[in-house]
Chains A and B, each alone.
Chain A
Amino acid sequence: MVQTIAFAIWAVIVLAILATYGYFAWSARTPLDGEEYYKAVARLRRPLFIVLVLLLAATLALTLPRIPYPRRDIVPDRVVHVVGKQFSFAVSEQPITTDADFARAIGERVRLPAGALVEFRVTSRDVNHGFAVYDPEGHLLGQTQAMPGYVNRLLMRFDKPGTYHALCLEYCGLAHHAMRGTFEVLASEKLARR
């Protein structure tokens, strides 16, 4: 949804830019004497500046309250540990601090209840990776970086049951494109029956 809105806004602005450039280039086909025409365009500077400032300020006001960084006081329903290592993500509900933990977690299939607030604690054991969560239809829902020496907290809520995949979105070497992690989201009652 966010992607579509962003694309649509960009496309509308592109059309406006193309039309503006076309109009001005076309106007050069009928050259007129004097500097009045130059001054007429120069007089647009102040109104254009005001309009752009208002637009950008409104966008800031609309988007800044929605930034994805977690507040310290938020308590998640579930905590999931994620560690990136060339070239896979280990996803586990247990902490992953050693290579043995990593190997164990690679085989683990995490199951999360739909609608729960999940906190991913994301880090790396070698280079930078990008932990990007894709829904079962292949839409990118959100991401954070997996960085050695740091833990990034990513809060997400999954409403739709299904198998979710994490792809790496920070170039990390030869098999970067093959790096992935997986977890499942189950309807709450189905999870309770397990």
Chain B
Amino acid sequence: MKPFTYVRATSVAEASRMVVAGSAPLAGGTDLLGLMKGGIASPARLVDLGGIDGLNGWSRERGAGLRIGALTPLVDLETSDQLARHLPIVREALRDTATLQLRNAGTVGGNLLQRNRCWYFRDAAIQCWLKGGTQCFAKEGENEHHAIIGTARGCNRVAPSDLAPALIAHDARVTLTSTRGTRSVLLADLFTDPALHSREEHTLRRGEILTEVQVPESGLQRRGTYLKAMERKTWSFALVSVAVAARIRGGKLRDPRIVLGGVAPVPWRVEAAEAEIDGHPFSDDLARRAADLLLADAAPLAKNGYKVPLAKELVRRALARIAAA
């Protein structure tokens, strides 16, 4: 690990001023420290956000949706029975996230902004496209964990967060604050696609701090669920995960969302798939049609073809589950 200096910010404004080129914001550190030890990130300065008041915890105001502070430890969301009544998908998603130790240290903001787990990306000796190189080593290489869809350019990484698909399924937004001001974007738009030729994974601009997640009232009215396929029962990123959410009216799925993790460089949504089921009662056949549309453009690599049937099956089960609940 390269030597670095450490400062502690006491306000968002101060943190934003401090996060200049060469500096990295530090929250739980569960991803950043690993990146630093592995030689993937080498910030000269860490700006610890832990001393900033007001970013830890969540609140629910009737009519104003749900707000979750970016520094809230994952474990606090996972274990809150009250939150589970408002937005049960969060607990479902977090229960299988990382390990209890990591959920104790990790934060909501850090989870959404974590870097991908591609084993080529995580090897400092490999100069892949995402790190400024010319090629994706996974494309012709060891790609069983890689993307099957949405990989238009040189990167076959997959979006690693469990929380992101779950929150996107409820139309979450995030607040980004910098010295230039504050903006609110859809969480789905926080993630950037390699198809856009960006060698970033997030659309965060320099100096911007993710301060809050909001779930609008309409999002809270959906019933959601999260399913995750793993290679062992804990401490395993998703082979495929799926978050679905919909309002159930008269046995029909309304305004549904289907978001996949582990299959594409960003949490994967296809509006046509959602339109296909909108207004219909659940059936296996309906779910199959939606899953087919969701994965219509799938182009698996040599070793990850299994993700297609796996994703389709998880979509079917998740939809069945919310329809039956």
Do A and B actually bind? no
B interface residues (Cβ-Cβ under 8 A, vs A)? none
A interface residues (Cβ-Cβ under 8 A, vs B)? none
